[in-house]
Amino acid sequence: MSLTPATIRRLMREITELKNNPPEGIRVVTSEENMLDLTGIVEGPEQTPYAGGYFRVRFQFTHEFPTAPPKCWFATKIFHPNVSSAGEICVNTLKKDWQSSYGIGHILVTIKCLLIYPNPESALDEEAGKLLLEDYDAYCSRAKLITSVHATPRIRPPEFQTPSTEKEGESSTTSIPVSVPTPAMMPPPPHITLPVPISASSPRKFSPAPPSQPLQSSPANTLPSSLSTSTVSSKDGKERLSPFGTANSNVAGPTAATTTKAVKRSAASASSGTEKRKKALKRL
């Protein structure tokens, strides 16, 4: 087997990708001595007679790859119309429908689909093809028996212990637990005190007003002591208190001054009248 460096690099990239991100139900195993000594493992699809089985498919790359398809065969015994007793596979992808862009992953996915939809018209195993057409239940029983004997291990292959990228994607979107709060889990609402409206019929209570302070005298509303009283002379010469002498303590300053001037004028007029009477008496 002599492959070009470009073909080897291509196969190495694809093998690495299949190991890191394997499709659902498909794994690849390589030899430690030769990376191109490749074996594919196909898990039997559910709801088929091959469910529970793990089928190994061997690859052999020739110098014509990728122009021509690699040689592939079942290393695990299987009862299938399109697989011969020697393990040869009859599928158009490995024959006339081959394209150079196809790779290892495409071949393994095609073989997995062949386990789901067998084609009895191009059968390599005539017994299996005839039984599939005439008695499907008998075909399924025979296929399940061969699968349980030759393809079902006691322990799942270690290559399938790690989930595939498709399962990881499904689990990331469907298996996220979402907790829905129930009335028992919900916290109690905060205590809110609402104001109580006062109806028109209910009597209102008013707090008593603080006691008023007594008025205090100030220079603006207090008359000076000199203007508090005044004396006037009567006709008989005796001094009497003027009724205008006492000022109201609540009268402002200008009003008290006007009252004082009126008292002085009345006293002056009274004294001048007295003088005139004295002069008239002297003349007589």
Give the pLDDT confidence score for residue 3 in this predicted structure: 86
Q: Of the residues 72, 90, 113, 140, which is catalytic?
A: 90
Q: Rounded to an integer, what distance in angstroms lies between the CA atom of residue 9 and that of residue 15? A: 10
Residue stretches of the chain with pLDDT short of 50:
171-183, 199-202, 206, 217-238, 241-256
pTM score, two decimals? 0.58
Quote the pLDDT of residue 150.
Answer: 97
pLDDT of residue 271: 63
pLDDT for the residue 104: 95
Q: How far apart are CA 107 and CA 88, in angstroms?
A: 14
Cα(224)–Cα(253) distance, rounded to whole angstroms? Answer: 9
Q: What is the pLDDT of residues 151-176, one digit of tens each?
A: 999 999 998 986 655 555 554 444 44
Q: Give the closest residue to 86 by CA, choosing from 59, 50, 124.
A: 124
Q: Tell me whether residue 90 is one of the annotated catalytic residues.
A: yes
